[in-house]
Structure 1
Amino acid sequence: MTTISAPTPETASVTLICAERCHLGEGPAYDAASDTAWWFDIVEKRLYEARLATGAITVHALPVMASALAMVDAERQLLVTESGLMLRDIASGRLETLATVEADTSGTRSNDARVHPSGTFWFSTMGRNAETGAGTVYAFHAGAVIPLFPAVTIPNAICFSPDGTLGYFADTAIGELYRVRLDPGSGLPLEAPTLLHRHGGEGGLDGAVTDAEGLIWCAIWGGARLNAYSPAGDLVRSVPTPALQTSCPVFVGKGFDRVLVTSAWEHMDADARAADPEHGRTFLLDIGVTGRAEPRVRLGGL
């Protein structure tokens, strides 16, 4: 486990992809086959669709709060929602419940997620008011929902090494990033997680994605930047972002050479929003590294 001071912030070319302000922008995903990016406004129950070639933005109203998605195939997505996992038909928007999650409590909602190279889908829940220890990291594997790591307050930064042998996640509330060794064939843990990095300074560890070389690119909520951590836990790069409450990155483009970053204005009063003029907007950053395609989720026997 490593704790070091942040490197000097860099500069990055920034393009505004969507000027509409998300109350809680989160969960960006990218489908290379259609060159389409997707992200959510969790609180406002909206799903954004961006056709990158044309810049066209479509906003889809949802009947439930949702926070992340994975592509199943060209016609379907798997959404992580406050009600559990739901299949979404892309053409019609029709939703179908695949698996309920924490159905016995109304005090939690979905949060972060990412697909392992094997097709296993890791996702998390948290308390609606970030209650201590109310969150859990789950795996959707072979058609079953499997609890992995309970008693996490704000589970975030779920991502995986390119070869699938390592998994990462964070608890934003305590500023800790964890690493766990995985079975690359199943995406399931082989041991208990260990502490990889303890975040210091302003902001907190939020959503993350790994690049093609295995660096962990993590949005720093309240810190207006993306931090890059090595698999050993070293903080090696820090790239500024336009909005203070940067929430989650994903690599996009045919060459996976740009990063789409969401943001939010949640918990910001009028003065705070005025001081952060780009709050809640969604951006493309050129950070000089290459990502990789997000795997499609496997639905087991379905």
Structure 2
Amino acid sequence: MTTTSTPPVGPASPAAETAPASLLSAARCELGEGPTYDAASNTAWWFDILQRQLFEANLGTGEVKVHALPFRASALAFVDDRRQLLLSDAALVLRDIATGQLQTVIAVEADNPATRSNDARVHPSGTFWVSTMGLQAEPGAGAIYAFRKGILTPLFPGLTIPNAICFSPDGLQGYFTDTPSNRLYRVRLDPATGLPLEPPAVLHVHTGEGGMDGAVTDSEGRIWCAIWGAGRLDVYSPEGRIVRRVAVPARQTSCPVFVGPGFDRLLVTSAFVSMDEAERAADPQHGRTFLIDAGAHGRAEPRVALGGA
């Protein structure tokens, strides 16, 4: 991956805030990831990648359902009111919401059993950025792709743990990280296609405890990034300044998304993978899924365009 570099910008990091938080699901995910929200049905969805489970939460009633999957999956996008596109460990798979029926759309590194899917998010144009990583986080085994008009195009190969994929509200900027590097990258995009116009540049370098994981942008274009191992969300301005830190009840915080009719709450997933018994005891909320009132607003997640339609 060719990049241009800029120094991180900003004053000393702010102290972590404690925002009102509630428990959405007490189920403990070994590797909770990939949350998304459908405003039309007021439902939130997320995965336990390693347990091959898809969670569905009705935010109106509080009911949570768990759907077993025949593969590891890590993210989804809505196609329409009836269908979702799941990112699995070997393909993009169409899922019928009512029946659970699955249909492969296109292979994603299906010929490489040493990798699985990881982070993903839909660009405002309908292009779906998806990523892969090594099963043991082998250096350089991962990549980010763009799914557009039925074609999967490699964007950034040679990554280790691609994460923090998200976009500015106007679609002009894309963001991502390679978690071991703790560098947040920004790349200028064609807003009509969601494809890069130039090499990515370093926007922010995370220092201190934890690693940069999943992220989402709010309505003002600020980037809310889960800090794995630190139990918080860090919030960056579009210029790369860290403007807020918001505590999360579990240490291995993995990914946020804005939910609710006003997109005014953050659903945050977590995980207990790689934690020993003592670490789990010291982190009593490990692996659970939370709703946090952080005083910010997001926006609806775009729907993915199948075949460019």
Q: TM-score range by the shorter chain?
A: over 0.9
Name the CA shift for 1:254/1:109 in 2 (closer, same or farther; >3 Å).
Answer: same
Aligned to 1:188, the other structure's residue is in SS state coil
Q: What's the counterpart of residue 3 of structure 2?
A: none
* 1:56 counterpart residue number: 63
Letter in 2 for 1:287: A
Matches within 5 A, 1:126-145: 126-145=133-152
User: What amino acid sits opposite 2:141 in the alignment?
Assistant: A
Residue pair 1:224, 1:243 contacting (<8 A) in 2 also? yes
> Quick one: distance in 2 between partners of 1:96 and 1:300?
15
* Partner Cα distance (2:50, 2:83) in 1: 23
2:106 is the alignment partner of 1:85: no
CA shift, 1:165, in A, is 0.1
Correspondence for 1:149: 156
2:307 is paired with a residue whose SS is coil
1:278 equivalent in structure 2: 285
* Superposed counterparts of 1:64-103, under 5 Å: 64-103=71-110
Compute the displacement of 1:3 (Å): 5.5
Q: How many angstroms does 1:24 deviate by?
A: 0.2
Which residue is equivalent to 1:288? 295
Q: Which runs of 4+ in 1 moved over 3 A?
A: none
Q: Distance in 2 between matches of 1:95 and 1:193?
A: 35
Q: Secondary structure at 1:266's aligned position in 2?
A: coil
- Equivalents in 2 of 1:93, 1:79: separation in Å? 11
Match of 1:249 in 2: 256
1:179 aligns with 2:186: yes
**2, 15, 20: which is aligned to 2:8?**
2
2: CA distance between counterparts of 1:301 and 1:116? Answer: 13
Distance 1:185 1:221 in 2: 33
> What is the Cα deviation at residue 13 of structure 1?
0.2
Rounded to whole Å, the distance in 1 between the matches of 2:43 and 2:308 is 27
Structure 2 stretches lacking a partner, 5+ long: 1-6
User: 1:268 corresponds to which residue?
Assistant: 275
Normalising by structure 1, what TM-score? 0.99
Instruction: State the number of aligned residues.
Output: 302
Matching of residues 155-194 of structure 1 within 5 Å: 155-194=162-201
Task: Note if contact 2:144-2:162 (Cα within 8 Å) is conserved in structure 1.
Answer: yes
Amino acid at match of 2:188: R
Percent of pairs identical after alignment? 66
Separation in structure 2 between the aligned mates of residue 117 and residue 240 of structure 1, nearest angstrom: 29
Please list the CA deviations of residues 202-254 of structure 1 after superposition, one character each: whole Å capped at 9, or x if unmatched: 10000000000000000000010000011111111000000000000000000
State whether residues 3 and 199 of structure 1, in contact with CA within 8 Å, keep that contact through their aligned partners in structure 2: no
Contact kept, 8 Å, 2:9 with 2:239, in 1: the verdict is no
CA shift digits 1:142-182 (9 cap, x unpaired): 11000000001100000000000000000101111100000
Q: CA RMSD in A?
A: 0.9
- AA of the residue aligned to 2:49: I
Find the aligned partners of 2:303 and 2:168 in 1 and give their Cα distance. 16
Give the TM-score of the pair, scaled to structure 2: 0.96
Q: Residues 251 and 260 of structure 1 are in contact (CA less than 8 Å); yes or no, is this contact kept in structure 2?
A: yes
1:201 aligns with 2:208: yes
